[in-house]
């Protein structure tokens, strides 16, 4: 839901700022393999592995 909210927010910005020549681009990752997603029934296609050493 939060990813959809961000996309809608950026779509609104894109429409409002287009007349001023400002372009908006959004990049959002897909599913990331983490503790939060373990055990969830999610598509594993394109899953990103998180390096445990980089986590807090």
Q: What is the pLDDT of residues 1-56, one digit of tens each?
A: 687 888 899 999 999 999 999 998 888 777 677 777 777 665 566 666 666 776 65
Res 19: pLDDT:
95
What is the DSSP-derived secondary structure letter of residue 46?
A: T
Give 10: exposed, middle or buried? Use CB within 10 Å, 0-12, 13-18, 19+.
Answer: middle
Res 34: pLDDT:
73
Count: domains in the chain: 1
Res 1: pLDDT:
66
Res 29: pLDDT:
72
Structural domain boundaries enclosing 33: 2-54
Res 27: pLDDT:
83
């Amino acid at each position: 839901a939060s990813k959809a909210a961000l996309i809608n927010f950026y779509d609104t910005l894109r429409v409002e700022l287009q007349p001023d020549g400002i372009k908006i681009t959004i990049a959002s990752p897909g599913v990331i393999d983490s503790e939060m997603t373990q055990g969830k029934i999610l598509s594993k296609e394109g899953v990103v592995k998180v390096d445990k050493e980089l986590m807090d």
